[in-house]
Structure 1
Amino acid sequence: MLAVKSDIPIDPGIYFLALKEMSEKGLKSPHGDGFGFLFSTGNEYGIFKSLKHIWDYAHPFMEMKLGIFHARKASPGYNPDLYHVHPFISEIYAKTWVFAHNGTIHGVESKGIIDSQYYFERVLKNLKYNAPEDALLKTAREIEAEKKFSSLTCILSNLESIWVMRYCADNNDKLHTLYYTEQKNVKILSSEPLENYIDIEGIESFRELNNHEVIKI
């Protein structure tokens, strides 16, 4: 899972390459059950989804100011379905919202949707009456009180800003991590450190998010 945001249009190729390497060779790899990405230029946006392995796919050839990328690792016994590939997108009150999730929520029994879509539906309900940071934390606490889960770590965007939350059931969880990196004019959020997978220069800030932490970029 990876997100980028910039004040000027950028080529996302190097970050897409990082996610490809991460998905094929990183923690809990491979993440080969489909992938998707959303891009926004500020004037238009688009979303792409595929059931192919992300490492078999060329990077997107468009500039963007905001991007959200996700490679999926499905639960054992699950037959991959394009409808279940992240990121997910919905609209409320004339606002477009985009969502991606890392982790598993157990005991979700909503017909036709997976646990991540169930999670997004609950976030959307809380967005009607709460700021995004509050909606994410409120939803996580509600689910925590009701169900078992490994991680509610997620990315949420309204195509203008990006909110990320790290929320793990185990405070010592080393699989569902999030890292914040600033590189010149680009702000990056990634599941693992980018420098583990690509040569990246000009890093100005880098840190791991704490459990139950929400940040906005």
Structure 2
Amino acid sequence: MCELLAMSANTPTDLCFSFTGLARRGGEAGPHADGWGVAFYEGRGVRVFHDPGASASSRIAELVQTHPIKSEAAISHIRQANVGRISLENTHPFIRELWGRYWTFAHNGQLHGFAPRRGVYRPVGETDSEAVFCDLLNGIREAFDADTPDAQLIDAVVAACRNYARYGVINLLLSNGEWVFTFCTTRMCAITRRAPFGPARLRDADVTVDFEAETTPDDIVSVIATDPLTSDEQWDAYQPGEWRLWRKGEVVARGRETVPAHRHPAVGGSAVS
């Protein structure tokens, strides 16, 4: 099973603490050793790191853990591949340009029998995940334009996710830098940190941080992950079919769709994610 990580904040914030916990699961505290990636938005730009190796032993991942890259929106993914090549082009998050913005996407799940529509966006690698991303953007590009209100776009994204869920597990993260959209069919959870801040300890690494010393009283930082990253905080679990739209650390829209029960034993597992 792959694992996801996202952040939404109202002020530029680094992901060092959470990414350190996730990275340990990539070949040390967990089996997700088949590649990892992370994307940080900085204004209209996006800083992306990919590595087809294990994050727990990656020197690039070490840089991300120790260099405080500040962002208001970030998404990350560690991969466990069962079918398909372990390669750079199959490593999430995937990125494409639409309407003068970079869109990024990461997916945990396995789809069966899904065939993407033809369009401007085509997969570079072999994963069903990238195929879904290209299909989603092709649908948005065909139906809307750059002036379309976000609410209308999100309605279309939710409808697309409901359709993808017919083919299997579709836990995903999607961002254009302005917001982070999350959709869950099996496992996802979130935590929002705001004043008064306190300490937190990672579950998979001997690391504790005192957020009070690192923040201001006005900061709001939300972290979304497949499984809780800390051992001493209360994480909020998503329900199957639940989606949330995050902006500047807050949930600004949410809903729940009816999705088929997952029938595969490796819950959330992906053959080619």
Corresponding residue number in structure 2 for 1:172: none
Are 1:133 and 1:214, in contact at CA under 8 Å, matched by a contact in 2? no
Equivalent residues in 2 for 1:145-156, closer than 5 Å: 145=166, 147=167, 149=168, 151-156=169-174
- Match of 2:129, SS? helix
Are 1:5 and 1:66, in contact at CA under 8 Å, matched by a contact in 2? yes
What is the one-letter code of the residue matched to 1:102?
N
Q: TM-score, with normalisation over the residues of structure 2?
A: 0.65
Equivalent residues in 2 for 1:10-89, closer than 5 Å: 10-24=13-27, 29-42=30-43, 44-57=45-58, 58-60=62-64, 61=67, 62-76=69-83, 78-89=84-95
Aligned length: 197
Are 1:89 and 1:96, in contact at CA under 8 Å, matched by a contact in 2? yes
Q: Distance in 2 between matches of 1:64 and 1:118?
A: 27
| Correspondent of 1:157 among 172, 175, 182 | 175
Corresponding residue number in structure 2 for 1:171: none
Are 2:44 and 2:102, in contact at CA under 8 Å, matched by a contact in 1? no
Q: Does 1:101 align with 2:136?
A: no
Q: Distance in 2 between matches of 1:95 and 1:178?
A: 26
- Match of 2:75, SS? strand
Are 1:132 and 1:163, in contact at CA under 8 Å, matched by a contact in 2? no
Corresponding residue number in structure 2 for 1:191: 226
What is the one-letter code of the residue matched to 1:215?
R
User: Where does the alignment leave 5 or more consecutive residues of structure 2 unmatched?
Assistant: 117-122, 145-151, 195-219, 247-273
Corresponding residue number in structure 2 for 1:216: 245
CA offset digits 1:14-56 (Å, max 9, x no partner): 0111212333466xx4111111110112253211111121111
Corresponding residue number in structure 2 for 1:140: 161
Q: Does 1:181 align with 2:191?
A: yes
What is the one-letter code of the residue matched to 2:36?
F
Q: Judge which range, 14-23 or 183-192, deviates more.
A: 14-23
Distance 1:126 1:14, change over 3 A: same
- Match of 2:47, SS? strand
Are 1:49 and 1:85, in contact at CA under 8 Å, matched by a contact in 2? yes
| CA-CA distance at 1:7 after TM superposition | 1.9
What is the one-letter code of the residue matched to 1:46?
R
- Match of 2:190, SS? strand
Are 1:22 and 1:192, in contact at CA under 8 Å, matched by a contact in 2? no
Q: Distance in 1 between matches of 2:162 and 2:77?
A: 24
| CA-CA distance at 1:126 after TM superposition | 3.1
User: Where does the alignment leave 5 or more consecutive residues of structure 1 unmatched?
Assistant: 168-175
Distance 1:144 1:123, change over 3 A: same
| CA-CA distance at 1:109 after TM superposition | 6.6
Identity %: 25
CA offset digits 1:59-115 (Å, max 9, x no partner): 411222221111111124x32110110001112222321100001112357785310
Q: Distance in 1 between matches of 2:45 and 2:161?
A: 31
Q: Does 1:118 align with 2:131?
A: yes
Task: Note the aligned Cα RMSD (angstroms).
Answer: 2.3
Are 2:35 and 2:54, in contact at CA under 8 Å, matched by a contact in 1? yes
| Correspondent of 1:7 among 5, 10, 13 | 10
